A and B are shown apart, each in its own frame.
Chain A
Amino acid sequence: SAVISQKPSRDICQRGTSLTIQCQVDSQVTMMFWYRQQPGQSLTLIATANQGSEATYESGFVIDKFPISRPNLTFSTLTVSNMSPEDSSIYLCSAKDVFTTDTQYFGPGTRLTVL
């Protein structure tokens, strides 16, 4: 299974600022995903990070608010832009290699608090 790390593990940010979250996988993977988990809630898919092309966003999420990069097969970033307190959540990165497994493995998450 892939081992996934995320940085930062947690952060407290001021309203109106932006935060970039990094996700690193220990092996090359075809698919990477970003999820949001609001306090006490389930996970919601934000977007699929595609290597070499723009991310594919789910309904309700837009690129201007959550720009995503995927420069190679082991790394992705998610930026939460112009933050408000409603963005306070856990953001989780997951990865899946379609040629070796049908399972998504998750990183430890980034706990974001916006004041």
Chain B
Amino acid sequence: AQKVTQAQTEISVVEKEDVTLDCVYETRDTTYYLFWYKQPPSGELVFLIRRNSFDEQNEISGRYSWNFQKSTSSFNFTITASQVVDSAVYFCALSEAYTGGGNKLTFGTGTQLKVEL
């Protein structure tokens, strides 16, 4: 069975601080995808990144960066120089990956990030 753990329920930081959101996953699949989604107070789920299990390269997109370590089954997300607009709930998710079919997303419990002035 697949499982995603986000141990940090809530994080509060002051604007311009760096913050890392942790994600640890469990799966028996050898091929899988990992995702991060952002859910602002409006409720919409916004896709941030997808990572294939074969691709362990870290990725940077503006102030966002992701560190994927297969050896520790972790896919952590760092926001550099946080801003108030980053305040949201962030979900890490895992799906199996196979051709020809849909893939069920297993979500973590989410981390509420509050960025204050």
Q: What residues make up the interface of A, taking CB atoms closer than 8 Å to B?
A: 1, 30-31, 33, 41-45, 48, 58, 90, 92, 94, 96, 98, 102-109, 111
Residues of B within 8 A of A (CB): 33, 35, 37, 42-47, 50, 52, 91, 95, 97, 99-105, 107-110
The interface centre, meaning the residue of B43, B52, B103, B108 with most chain A CB atoms within 10 A of its CB, is: B43
- A54 CA to B91 CA in the complex, in Å? 29
Known: A42-B108, A42-B109, A108-B42. A102 touches B47 (CB 8 A): no
Q: Are A106 and B109 in contact (CB under 8 A)?
A: no
Checking A41, A42, A45, A109 against B44 with a beta-carbon cut-off of 8 angstroms, the contacting residue is A109
Within the complex, the shortest CB–CB distance from A82 to chain B, in Å, comes to 25
Are A102 and B103 also in contact (CB < 8 A) when A42-B91, A90-B43, A108-B42 are?
Answer: yes
Besides A43-B107, A102-B52, A111-B43, 4 more A-B contacts (Cβ < 8 Å) are A41-B109, A43-B91, A90-B43, A108-B44
Cα separation A48 to B105 with both chains bound (whole Å):
11
**A58 to B45, alpha carbons, bound, how many Å?**
21
| CA of A44 to CA of B105, assembled, Å | 9
Looking at B42, B97, B105, the one whose CB has the most chain A CB atoms below 10 A away is B105
